[in-house]
Amino acid sequence: MKLSVIIPAYNEEKYIATTLHKIKQAIHENHIDPQDWELIVCDNNSVDKTAQISKEFGAIVIHEPINQISRARNTGASIAKGDWLLFIDADTYPNAGLIQEIFAIINDDSYIGCGATVKVAGGTFFNRARMERLNPLLRLLKICGGAFLLCKADAFRAIDGFSLTLYAYEEIDLIKRLKKYGEKVHKKFTVLHKNPIITSGRKGDYTFPSMITLLLSNTVAPFLYLFRKTLPKKVIHLISKKMLGYWYTDSR
């Protein structure tokens, strides 16, 4: 099997159906053999109909009881059969053009993985501008957000997947280790840009409380990332749970 699409999901009944439909549609438009790919949803302790809806769309559903994005992605990857792993957020989906680019990467032996630039659908102008303005930087630095991340399965397992210490910036940490591993095996990481991944604009509604939460989370997260090797894991866990509300709320 060539590709495992892995979607971490926590209370995503409002978005998961659209995401699964769009992914399957994009795959179908590229005439991908059903035997060449699989769809996995990791239900990260949801209390809504996320798991039920996912099963109705033919996804393989696995449960992860501890609420953490890294754990959810790792748990999904633990049952994946594909030679490549594609991590996509539950409110995010590719178009047919991006799927075509993905399989071009898969069939090119010089790559270890890739990310993609972002196009925000809906939400406030502030949130769209805030997220999309980072696209040139993503391409320059060859890094990406966790909403879309493709990597070789053997490389992912060789570097032990996503860090369970981090509750944010876990994708930056993974990409850094993935690139380092790629240097050893002479494979590269890139960021696709012709067909941006489409993600929802549900976060960042520009109200005062949300701006405070955004500012706090985006200040604390890089601090925890930079000091991830020196701070005790219990301290990182405590601070993350208390101060990373932008990513860890029931409304996500």
> Residue 251 has what pLDDT?
43
> Residue 190 has what pLDDT?
98
User: What pTM did the predictor assign?
Assistant: 0.88
Domains of the chain and CATH, by start:
3-202 (3.90.550.10)
> Residue 205 has what pLDDT?
56
> What are the CA-CA distances from residue 92 to residues 12, 62, 118, 198 (Å)?
11, 19, 10, 6
Bridge-based pairing state of the strands 84-88 and 148-152: antiparallel
Instruction: Going residue by residue through the chain, which has 252 residues, state the pLDDT in tens, using 9 for 90 and above.
Output: 999 999 999 999 999 999 999 999 999 999 999 999 999 999 999 999 999 999 999 999 999 999 999 999 999 999 999 999 999 999 999 999 999 999 999 999 999 999 999 999 876 666 677 677 788 888 999 999 899 999 999 999 999 999 999 988 899 999 999 999 999 999 999 999 999 999 987 765 556 566 667 667 778 887 888 888 888 888 888 888 777 866 666 444
Contacts 24+ apart (CB under 8 A), 238-246: 240/166, 240/167, 240/168, 241/167, 243/216, 243/217, 244/167, 244/168, 244/217, 244/220, 245/213, 245/216, 245/217, 246/203, 246/213, 246/214, 246/216, 246/217, 246/218
User: Which residues neighbour 81 within 8 Å (Cβ) at sequence distance 6 or greater?
Assistant: 1, 4, 38
> Residue 98 has what pLDDT?
98
> Residue 126 has what pLDDT?
66
> Residue 204 has what pLDDT?
55
Length of the chain: 252
